[in-house]
Amino acid sequence: MSEMKEAIEQVLSELNELKCSTQKEVEQARIHFLGKKGSVTALFDEFRTVAPELKREFGQRLNEIKKIATAKIEEMKTAVGETSVKGASGEDLSMPGDAFPLGSRHPVSIVRQQIVDIFRKVGYTVAEGPEIEDDWHVFEALNFPPNHPAREMQDTFFISNGHLNPLLLRTHTSSVQVRTMETQPLPIRVVCPGRVFRNEAISARAHCIFHQVEGLYIDENVTFADLKQAILMFAREMFGPDAEIRMRPSYFPFTEPSSEVDVSCNICHGKGCNICKGTGWLEIMGCGMVDPNVLEASGIDSKKYSGFAFGMGVERIAMLKWQVNDLRHYFENDLRFLEEFSTATEV
Ligand code: PHE
């Protein structure tokens, strides 16, 4: 038994002298003492050969040694850990950093940018104008005669009343198109993104503030075929290469002929689902050939020039693209909703 006693002494003195300066050394020491083939483990193996009358004494001793070894390794672990992460002035460099959440663009902003970029690629430039507008740019110059019932199509927030040309919040960004026609040389090819206002009750499908992108193209010999092609190009860029469009006759005071555009439902691909209400089609915009009266009102010779215009709601396109069923989500700033779009790609 003296051999075993010696072995015990040996392990104890090794443990006493143990010094580690890195985590790696601590791990090596753990394996050396407590690993499967470690010296403490070996003592336990030898314990089997100890005479029965000595088992009690040796057993207690071995358990003690195991405790000492485990405690020593733990102590080394902390010591090494601490020295390796203390900063120059003693701060704990191992503390986890404060999370710094990155914001992301609002989904409406992402889609507005996508729409604008699609048209920019084919030569359109961006035009902007004031949100507080006058009656002339929102209605009069766009062929809405005073008191014409077509004005009722867009419930307006008036800022001043009773003047000849009252101030109001623009109900569409067509006003920017008027400003462009009044000031820019021909040909004109612009898209007008912006915020618009309508005096409407807020619901899942309507809001009193929303965003539009409208477009205007004026040159010699612009035809309805050009309009159709431009919109088909847009639909395929936005909703995928298989998208189809259909045009339904409609009415706007500023375009003649006018049309509403549907895109084939990107969810059921025309078979009919609850998003497209079983029709296979989703309405995405209004459009038409610019009425000669509108061209003339801005000083453009309607005998020489023709053009087309279109306008769409950004929230509506975003709802269709991401299958969001309630417009109000876009305005409530609920982070759970907004974070869904943090990885949405931009064109
Ligand atoms: N200005 C129209 C609206 O806000 C949309 C539109 C633009 C329709 C251009 C036709 C042509 O509803």
Identify which of 181, 188, 214 to mutate to test ligand 1's pocket (most ligand atoms within 8 A of the CB).
214
DSSP class of 171: S
The pLDDT value recorded for residue 334 is: 92
Query: What length does the chain have?
Result: 347
Among 28-42, 82-96, 111-125, 148-162, name the one with the lowest average pLDDT.
Answer: 82-96
Please give the Cα distance from 181 to 306 (Å, whole number). 12
The pLDDT value recorded for residue 88 is: 79
- How do residues 236-258 score in pLDDT, each as one tens digit? 999 999 999 999 999 999 999 99
Please give the Cα distance from 336 to 239 (Å, whole number). 25
- How do residues 163-179 score in pLDDT, each as one tens digit? 678 899 999 999 999 99
Q: Does any ligand 1 atom lie closer than 6 A to the CB of residue 174?
A: yes
- How do residues 280-300 score in pLDDT, each as one tens digit? 999 999 999 999 999 999 999
Query: What's at 184, amino acid-wise?
Result: Q
Tokens of 192: 């007008």
The CA R_g of the chain, rounded to the nearest whole Å, is 38
Q: Does any ligand 1 atom lie closer than 6 A to the CB of residue 286?
A: yes
Using the predicted structure, report yes or no on whether residue 84 has a pLDDT greater than 80.
no
Q: Which helix (H) or strand (E) holds 10?
A: helix 2-17
Please give the Cα distance from 259 to 268 (Å, whole number). 24
Q: What is the pTM of this model?
A: 0.72
Please give the Cα distance from 108 to 113 (Å, whole number). 9
The pLDDT value recorded for residue 24 is: 83
Residue 231 near residue 261, CB atoms below 8 Å? yes
Q: Which helix (H) or strand (E) holds 263?
A: strand 255-264
**Separation of CA 76 and ligand 1 centre (Å):** 75
- How do residues 15-41 score in pLDDT, each as one tens digit? 888 888 888 888 888 889 888 888 888
The pLDDT value recorded for residue 42 is: 86
The pLDDT value recorded for residue 347 is: 41
Mutual angle of helices 2-17 and 23-34, in 10-degree steps? 170
Q: Does any ligand 1 atom lie closer than 6 A to the CB of residue 252?
A: yes
**Separation of CA 47 and ligand 1 centre (Å):** 93
The pLDDT value recorded for residue 247 is: 97
Identify which of 174, 210, 212, 314 to mutate to test ligand 1's pocket (most ligand atoms within 8 A of the CB).
174
**Separation of CA 153 and ligand 1 centre (Å):** 11
The more confident residue out of 36 and 196 is 196
Using the predicted structure, report yes or no on whether residue 48 has a pLDDT greater than 90.
no
Identify which of 138, 172, 197, 293 to mutate to test ligand 1's pocket (most ligand atoms within 8 A of the CB).
172
Q: Does any ligand 1 atom lie closer than 6 A to the CB of residue 172?
A: yes
SS3 label, residue 323: coil
Q: Does any ligand 1 atom lie closer than 6 A to the CB of residue 313?
A: no
Q: Which residues contact 48 (CB under 8 A, 6 or more apart)?
A: none
Positive or negative: CA dihedral 21, 23, 29, 33: positive
SS3 label, residue 247: strand
Residue 90 near residue 157, CB atoms below 8 Å? no
Using the predicted structure, report yes or no on whether residue 82 has a pLDDT greater than 60.
no
Give the pLDDT band of residue 204 (cuts 50, 70, 90): confident
| Residue-wise DSSP of 216-243 | EEEETT--HHHHHHHHHHHHHHHH-TT-
The pLDDT value recorded for residue 44 is: 85
Please give the Cα distance from 108 to 341 (Å, whole number). 10
